[in-house]
Amino acid sequence: MPRTSDIDAFYTLLDALAARTGGPRKLAQCSGRMAWPERGVYFFFEPGELYGDRPRVVRIGTHALTSTSRTTLWKRLSQHRGTTSPVGGNHRGSIFRLLVGEALMRRDPSLAVSSWDSDRPNDAAARIAENQHEARVSDYLGQTKLLFLPIDDPPGSDSLRGLIERSAIALLSNYSAPSGIEPSAGWLGFHSGRDRVRRSGLWNQRHVDETHDPAFLGVFEGLIERIPAA
């Protein structure tokens, strides 16, 4: 089937990307002192999630898709990672953190934080509870690994970064039709309160109901070939 072939081709390209960029980086070990391109697309892998014998992509993202945005790749990744001293973060600045934190609470209701996905709490006890949960999210996300594809194009909705992001999400999503890649039975995303996360098998909500254009794979391959070997 064409989609199955495209998925296999996509994962082969991820292997090539890993070889060019030095392999996946563990999020907890990432810092701004590392070499990062100014702009790019990132691919997250979660422990225990596999496609055959390969790590399964669980989230795809980019940044600066509006002409006025100046967010860099590392800035976006650091928002997902959170702070390191103290361990914590801000789920209001990272949809990835918001979704994971919500799923952790739905899996274990004893962790419920009333202010999650709402305005910042004024009550001291509520702030402490929220900060404790932010630390749990950081601990969880810190175990994920990521690859990045450098694409130094100007901010804007028509950027190549946007093309790669939405095409890869559409290719891998189970939302409208099975992709052939199933999350593990214990995947945290099954506890998400978001239908698009549960059904797509991805920590994404945008583009999960779209159809991919196979031509993006050729663009993806060309971008990888421009990267100097690690």
- Tens-place pLDDT, residues 179-215: 999 999 999 999 999 999 999 999 999 999 999 999 9
- Phi first, then psi: give them for residue 162, nearest 5 degrees: -65, -40
Tokens of 50: 């596999």
Q: How far apart, in whole angstroms, are the C-alpha atoms of residue 127 and residue 121? A: 6
Q: Which phi and psi (to 5°) does residue 42 adopt?
A: -120, 155
Q: What backbone torsions phi and psi does residue 29 show, to the nearest 5 degrees?
A: -100, 0
Tens of pLDDT along 79-116? 999 999 999 999 999 999 999 999 999 999 999 999 99
Instruction: Return the half-sphere exposure (C-beta side, CA atoms, 13 A cut-off) of residue 176.
Output: 13
Cβ distance 150 to 40 under 8 Å? Answer: yes
Contact assessment for residue 79 and residue 42, using Cβ atoms and an 8 Å cutoff:
no
The residue with greater pLDDT, 74 or 155, is 74
Contact 142, 25 (CB under 8 A): no
| 172 φψ region: left (φ > 0), alpha (ψ -120 to 50), beta (else) | alpha
Phi, psi of 114, rounded to the nearest 5 degrees: -65, -25
Structure-block tokens of residue 6:
């495209």
- Other CB atoms within 10 A of residue 198 CB: 18
Compute the distance between CA of residue 148 and CA of residue 146 in angstroms, rounded to an integer.
7
Its pTM surpasses 0.85: yes
What confidence tens digit (pLDDT) does each residue in 147-186 have?
Answer: 999 999 988 878 999 999 999 999 999 999 999 999 999 9
